[in-house]
Structure 1
Amino acid sequence: MPKSSYDPLSAPGQPPLKTTAPAVVRAVQVLDALAAAPQPVSLADLARATGAPKSSLHGLCETLVHLHLVKRLPDGTMALGPHVMGWANAFLSQTQITEEFRTLWEATEAFGEATVTLSMLDDTEVVYLACRNGNRPLGVTFRIGMRLPAPYTATGKAILSTLPPEVVRALLVDRWPDPLTRASVATPDALAIELDTVRALGYSTDNGQMREGMTCFGAPVFDTSGHQAVGAIAVSYLSNEIDTATAVRVGPRVRDLADKLSARLGHRKVLKF
């Protein structure tokens, strides 16, 4: 079982966490490992993923099961429990961008049959906050809470384009994610060229980098805090539906939808003279 690439306990450039509550730290590591696993895991899997001895994990997992943060299956393997969903729903209900996205979506007829997603950047990944899966068989179903490497997604590129180039390089140069497809952008230098294009156009394109046969267009979303995006919207299509003329038309429409959401969050464009 591989370790999750997401580690909230050791953010880049930060010193190791010092705490007087090591049991809390270990519990978070267990929950992170369960969240990263594609299927229920055994106690031995958790020990390998967290580096903790099985003897100390046994009692901790029993407590987490009792609190409904972890559920134990009949074969003894474990997965996240239902109590975690309550936290996730609370987070989403308190996230203004998510609520405003839903309100905007109810008021618009844009992209009626397409898959539309809303994401935010978390370290080197994007986390999906809202998803409206369309009726086209894209080969992937977006889910709330789903994580993907930012360099390979339309929303990730859109958000990264609003960061200074040196910040993007520092974030990714020593932590470049494994490619998802043969088209995935290969290096930080290649990504930097793509991000220059995103800045010039105002929208991003994922041309099969996240999923072969799928093309996505994304645009950043801003609030009152400044010029760094707080999220991004993306619209996904089958690649065989997209030709040059369609791409030129869809990109600005995604940009317009993102601008509407930004306006709902209090962002005001700075006019250039």
Structure 2
Amino acid sequence: MNTDKILAPAVARASAVLDLLARTGRPATLAELARELQLPKSSLHGLCATLEHLNLITRLDGGQMVPGPHVMMWANAFMARLDITQEFFASWDDMRVLPEETITLSVRDGAEVVYIACRNGKHPLGLRFHAGMRLPAVYTATGLAMLSTLPDAGVRRLLDGLSGGWPAPLTDHGLRDTESVIAELRQIRQRQYSIDREAVREGMYCFGAPVFDSRNPEAVAGVAVSIRSLEANPALEERAGQAIRKLADRLSERLGAWRAQ
């Protein structure tokens, strides 16, 4: 873990511990944390004791650690800041377009998207979305929609600077390099919505659009609707794309967006 350019390395190490516990979704021992984060046990011992004292992690009977209850306070504060989740569901229901399909709301965290609200539809997609789920932005409809609001140079810096290299593909259909993503983003800007054709899951198409607030020229969130690829046809794809674009516009208005999309 490289903390050379970070002003407070201890904060960065604490964040790495919490990130790892959240990402794996299972309890971890001190030894596992040390191995995964490449940090000495002696440093982690004091760090984890402090996080436990602050209720940021909880130590189970067997000594394994999981995220603590104080983390939820931060999560709730973040959700309250967006003030968008309930509007997301209510607006989609009010539109009465593809009401039985899966819809998701996500935010971007660097080169990943984090799902913050999901309603899994009645039609099986082979994948169930859930809040807290993370996926590479370049493979998702919401991720591509949000990336399309960045300038090309910013996208290149983000993707070419990935420390772990290009994200591992989820299927055989995802984009494989930065220039392919740039070309796709230019199409999204013209079309006004993104399309993921089986890049996240075989048999699933997703259509996404960016959501804006009053302060940022770049998207603060993304919304998407997912359908089964077997049911896809040009008319349904256009309908799904326009519907998700309309939903994104409604949410942007709720957040006081400075421009109409």
Compared CA separation, residues 67 and 224, structure 1 to 2 (3 A): closer
Q: 3-state DSSP class of the match of 1:87?
A: helix
Correspondences of 1:111-130 after superposition (within 5 Å)? 111-130=98-117
RMSD: 2.4
Answer yes or no: is the 8 Å Cα contact 1:154–1:217 preserved in 2.
Answer: yes
- Give the AA of the match of 2:19: D
- 2:252 is equivalent to residue 262 of structure 1: yes
Task: State the Cα distance separating 1:65 from its structure 2 match.
Answer: 3.2
**Structure 2 residue runs without a partner (length 5+):** none
Q: How many residues align?
A: 258
The yes-or-no answer on 1:236 pairing with 2:223 is no
Provide the rounded CA distance (Å) in 1 between the counterparts of 2:79 and 2:182: 31
In structure 2, the partner of 1:6 is none
Q: 2:143 aligned to 144, 156, 161, which one?
A: 156
Comparing 170-179 and 198-207, the one that deviates more? 170-179
- In structure 1, C-alpha distance between the alignment counterparts of 2:39 and 2:86, rounded to whole Å: 39
What is the CA–CA distance in structure 2 between the aligned matches of 1:248 and 1:257, rounded to whole Å? 14
Normalised by the length of structure 1, the TM-score is 0.85
Counterpart of 2:201? Answer: 211
* Closer/same/farther in 2, CA of residues 27 and 226 from structure 1, 3 Å limit: closer
Listed as ranges, the gaps of 5+ residues in structure 1 are 4-8
Query: 1:270, 1:255 → 2: CA distance?
Result: 11
TM-score by length of 2: 0.88
Out of 7, 26, 29, the position equivalent to 1:39 is 26
Cα-to-partner distance string for 1:204-226 (whole Å, 9 max, x where unaligned): 00111111221100011122235
Residue 93 of structure 1 contacts residue 99 of structure 1 at CA under 8 Å; is this kept in 2? no
Q: How does 1:57-136 map to 2 (within 5 A)?
A: 57-98=44-85, 100-105=87-92, 107-136=94-123
Equivalent residues in 2 for 1:214-229, closer than 5 Å:
214-225=204-215, 227-229=217-219
Q: Give the corresponding residue for 1:147.
A: 134
Helix, strand or coil at the partner of 1:71: strand
* Match runs of 1:3-42 below 5 Å: 16-19=5-8, 22-42=9-29
CA contact (8 A) 2:249 2:260 kept: no
1:177 maps to which residue? 167
Q: 1:195 to 1:83 in 2, by over 3 A?
A: same
Identical counterparts, % of pairs = 51
CA distance in 1, matches of 2:10, 2:176: 39
